């Protein structure tokens, strides 16, 4: 009889352990105790970030996006939600990035001579041989998920226009880090309240970037390592052989094909065009462009519907158009093809659009 009670208790303990395990798994990983690190002055830290050479590392990057962008089938990575990517670099320009997209995956490998971009969803490899120093779009895409690169750019562009401080420490991907905070100076007319960058205390390499906007306590976007191992990586990671039955194309051919299929790319291309016009400096920089009238008329009705759905009609002494607002950026498209965009409230865009030529 007694033995029976013991067994019963053991079985009950099993059930409780299982249930506790479930709730433990469901809980988001805690940040843990912030490490205690020697004080560092913001100026030194900024300098160290800008001059740091991360060297070889491999890791998993989590992107948490609450920008409030509509979800577009073509670029699911931009939609709100959490996404992860894995990156490896040898510290000398070779890298590999694996960007899962649901059950598919895009792999980008730069082996030093060639950038390979593989997409499992269409079983296709894009091969871009490096001729000059010109950056390849695939390279840019792979780098955009690297928090270290992103943070360096932000710091480089905005440090003169920000109040910089060190706000305690944090533990990111199990490494001790300083929290570097860039707050736009009061004179900056921007939507962004502050940018927090967790800087590795040893390597001085940014591990996490969080963007906070006015009026919210939660970051509008976070890019950071959830896992990182520093040190030499397997050389095989930086090689790529196209699978036997995959199509291999060049970026030029792919672009050609893409243009036939999607005329709405006209706007995007114009914005990325040769001479975007830059107005202002610092946080409230506004980028402007003029879309050729021809591209405007190419926009198919379907895409036009999409545009109308997410934009607001506005007009003023500058003309009339549509404004598209997210938490961190505003885009104004005038009916005559002028486009301005920036991390600024719409009023700044109304004031600037007149200068677009």
Partner 1 sequence: MITRQFGSEVRWMLRRPRTLIGLFGLVLVPIIISFGIWTAGDDEGGGGPGLAAIIQGNGMVVPIFTLFLSLNLLLPLVASIWAADGLAGEAQHGTLRGLLVAPVSRVRLLFVKLFGLTAMSLFAVTLMAVVGIIAGTAFLGTDGMMTLSGTTLGTGEGLLRIALFVVLVTFQMVAIGAVALAVSATTEHPLVVQAATMTTIIVFQVLSQFPSLDWLHPFLITTGFPGLIDVMRDPIPLTQIWDSTLLAGCYLLIGTGLAAMRLITKDN
Q: Does 273 bind partner 1 (CB under 8 A)?
A: no
Q: Does 19 bind partner 1 (CB under 8 A)?
A: yes
Q: In what order do the strands lie in the sheet with 175-184?
A: 162-172, 175-184, 192-200, 206-213, 221-230, 57-65, 81-89, 95-101, 104-110, 114-119, 124-129, 247-249
Draw the binding track, 58-87, toward partner 1 (x: CB under 8 A; -: no contact). Answer: --x-------------------------x-
HSE-up (13 A, CA, CB side) for residue 343:
22
Nearest CA to 149 among 85, 216, 70? 85
Which segment (6-14, 44-52, 273-281, 321-329) binds partner 1 by CB under 8 A? 6-14
Among 44, 92, 104, 114, binds partner 1 (CB under 8 A): 104
Q: Which CB sits closer to partner 1, 122 or 252?
A: 122
Q: Per DSSP, which regions of 90-189 are E strands? A: 95-101, 104-110, 114-119, 124-129, 162-172, 175-184
Q: Which CB sits closer to partner 1, 27 or 186?
A: 27
Cα gap 348→136, rounded to integer Å = 33
Strand 124-129 vs strand 247-249: parallel, antiparallel, or unpaired?
Answer: parallel
Nearest CA to 192 among 343, 305, 297, 301? 343
Draw the binding track, 239-268, toward partner 1 (x: CB under 8 A; -: no contact). Answer: -xxxxxxx----------------------
Q: Does 121 bind partner 1 (CB under 8 A)?
A: yes
Do residues 95 and 110 touch, judged by C-beta distance below 8 A? yes
Among 4, 261, 309, 357, binds partner 1 (CB under 8 A): 4
Q: Does 38 bind partner 1 (CB under 8 A)?
A: no
Q: Does 114 bind partner 1 (CB under 8 A)?
A: no
Torsion sign over Cα 64, 67, 70, 74:
negative
Nearest CA to 100 among 60, 73, 65? 60
Which segment (12-20, 173-181, 330-338, 342-350) binds partner 1 by CB under 8 A? 12-20
Q: Which CB sits closer to partner 1, 79 or 271?
A: 79
Among 45, 125, 154, 166, binds partner 1 (CB under 8 A): 125
Do residues 128 and 138 touch, judged by C-beta distance below 8 A? yes
SS3 115: strand
Q: Does 102 bind partner 1 (CB under 8 A)?
A: yes
Do residues 300 and 287 touch, judged by C-beta distance below 8 A? no
| Residues written for the chain | 357
Q: Does 140 bind partner 1 (CB under 8 A)?
A: no
Among 47, 120, 325, 355, binds partner 1 (CB under 8 A): 120
Among 7, 269, 272, 304, binds partner 1 (CB under 8 A): 7
Q: How many residues bind partner 1 (CB under 8 A)?
A: 44
Residues engaged in binding partner 1 (CB under 8 A): 4, 7-8, 10-19, 21-23, 25-26, 60, 86, 98, 100, 102-105, 107, 116, 118, 120-123, 125, 227, 234, 237, 240-246
């Amino acid at each position: 009889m007694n033995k029976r009670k013991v067994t019963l208790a053991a079985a009950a303990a099993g059930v409780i352990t299982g249930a506790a395990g479930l709730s433990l798994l469901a809980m988001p990983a805690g940040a843990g105790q912030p490490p205690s690190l020697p004080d560092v002055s913001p100026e030194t830290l900024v300098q160290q970030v800008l001059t740091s050479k991360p060297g070889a590392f491999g890791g998993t990057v989590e992107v948490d996006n609450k920008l409030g962008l509509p979800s577009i089938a073509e670029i699911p990575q931009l939609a709100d939600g959490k996404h992860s990517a894995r990156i490896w670099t040898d510290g000398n320009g070779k890298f590999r990035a694996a960007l899962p997209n649901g059950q598919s995956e895009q792999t980008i490998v730069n082996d030093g001579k060639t950038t390979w971009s593989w997409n499992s969803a269409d079983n296709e490899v894009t091969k871009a041989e490096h001729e000059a120093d010109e950056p390849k779009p695939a390279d840019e895409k792979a780098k955009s998920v690297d928090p270290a690169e992103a943070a360096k750019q932000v710091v480089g562009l905005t440090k003169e226009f920000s109040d910089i401080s060190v706000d305690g420490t944090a533990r990111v991907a199990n490494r001790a880090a300083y929290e570097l905070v860039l707050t736009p100076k009061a004179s900056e007319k921007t939507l962004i309240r502050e940018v927090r960058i967790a800087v590795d205390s040893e390597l001085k390499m940014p591990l996490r970037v969080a963007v906070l906007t006015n009026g919210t306590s939660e970051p509008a976007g976070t890019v950071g390592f959830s896992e990182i191992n520093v040190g030499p990586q397997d050389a095989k990671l930086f090689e790529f052989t196209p699978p036997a039955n995959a199509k291999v194309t060049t970026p030029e051919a792919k672009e050609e094909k893409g243009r036939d299929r999607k005329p709405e790319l006209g706007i995007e291309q114009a914005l990325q065009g040769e001479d975007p016009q830059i107005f202002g400096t610092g946080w409230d920089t506004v980028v402007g462009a003029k879309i050729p009238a021809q591209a405007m008329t190419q926009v198919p009705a379907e895409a036009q519907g999409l545009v109308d759905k997410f934009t607001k009609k506005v007009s003023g002494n500058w003309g009339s158009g549509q404004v598209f607002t997210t938490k961190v950026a505003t885009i104004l498209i005038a009916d005559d093809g002028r486009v301005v965009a920036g991390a600024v409230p719409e009023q700044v865009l109304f004031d600037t659009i007149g200068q677009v030529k």
